[in-house]
Amino acid sequence: MSYSATPYMLDHGSGYGLVSRGFHWLMALLLTWQFLTALLHVIDRQRAVSAMAWSTHHDVGFLLFVLVLLRGLWGLSNAGRRPAHAGRLGRLASLGHLALYALMAYVPAVALLRQFGSARAFSPFGIPLMKGGGEKIGWMTELGSASHALAAWALLALIGGHLAMVMVHHFVWKDETAARMVG
Ligand code: HEM
Ligand code: HEM
């Protein structure tokens, strides 16, 4: 009898495979931490716990940016195999997922752009990504300051909508949607 791990790694008609689930839950975990660091920063940035949490915000944000790019590429390569979203509600769900991707990419991207424009060095996890120095680039810092936080809170609201829809599927319509990513 031959055994192949491939079906469990790839997405299929009735659910997401191991890789897609790995991306989904790892990013859900890191995003939860990221919003927690932002919330503590807003509430009282002077407290030791807030400062400790905030000290990870830039690095984890960079990691989230790398992960969303990889996840997007993986999603594209699995697009034909993913569970179908049929009908008007299905199209709305696909649009919602697309909006989640757009914001998950835009939020860290515009922060990294601002970091670059600020001409300050940036070495996430010790990787010398931006060496700093040189001229400040005004439009980059302005765009980042005008939209990073705003887009991030919009992302949080959209995640709230996503969670609400998963709950409606599971507890009201009692269908198999939650099992695609969970069970
Ligand atoms: C998906 C990733 C990220 C999320 C969800 C996120 C979330 C947030 C949120 C909600 C705020 C608003 C806090 C407030 O209202 O004061 C914020 C602020 C901030 N973030 Fe992020 N962030 C991410 C990535 C990054 C990255 C990659 C950097 C830097 C390289 C960064 C740097 C900052 C800075 C400097 C602020 C304070 C200034 C501002 O409000 O724009 N963030 N972030
Ligand atoms: C930070 C939090 C979250 C984000 C950003 C997020 C994002 C997404 C995205 C983009 C998809 C589309 C499939 C993909 O490309 O991976 C998806 C699917 C899904 N998510 Fe989440 N998710 C989050 C948290 C959760 C949580 C906490 C649950 C469960 C309670 C959940 C349950 C699901 C389910 C069941 C699907 C499949 C839906 C379908 O195929 O129509 N998600 N999620």
pLDDT in tens, 162-183: 999 999 999 999 999 999 999 7
- Domains, the chain, with CATH or none: 15-181 (1.20.950)
CA angle at 58 for the pair 138 and 22, rounded to the nearest 5°: 125
Could you tell me if the CB of 25 is within 6 A of ligand 1? Answer: no
Q: According to the model, what pLDDT value does residue 1 have? A: 34
User: Any idea what the Cα angle at residue 7 is, between residues 4 and 9, rounded to 5°?
Assistant: 100
**Residue 74 near residue 23 (C-beta atoms within 8 A):** yes
Phi, psi values for residue 135, rounded to 5°: -80, 145
Residue 134 CA to residue 129 CA, distance in Å, equals 15
Mutate to test the pocket of ligand 2, among 162, 169, 170, 182 (most ligand atoms within 8 A of CB): 162
> Taking a C-beta distance cutoff of 8 angstroms, is the pair 166, 177 a contact?
yes
Q: Whose CA is nearest to atom 15 of ligand 2?
A: 75
| Ligand 1 atom nearest residue 148's Cα | 41
- Rounded CA-CA distance 34/106 in Å is 15
The rounded percent of the chain whose pLDDT value lies above 90 is 93
pLDDT digits (tens, 9 = 90+) for 25-82: 999 999 999 999 999 999 999 999 999 999 999 999 999 999 999 999 999 999 999 9
Closest residue to atom 25 of ligand 1, CA basis: 61
Residue 27 Cβ < 6 Å to ligand 1: no
Most informative mutation of 41, 57, 69, 150 for ligand 1 (most atoms within 8 A of CB): 57
Whole-angstrom distance, CA of residue 177 vs CA of residue 162: 12
Asked if 170 and 182 count as a contact pair (C-beta separation under 8 A), the reply is: no
By the 8 A CB rule, do 56 and 96 touch?
Answer: no
Buried b (16+ CB within 10 A) or exposed e, 70-88: ebeebbeebeeebbeeeee
> Quick check: 168 and 174 in contact, CB under 8 A?
no
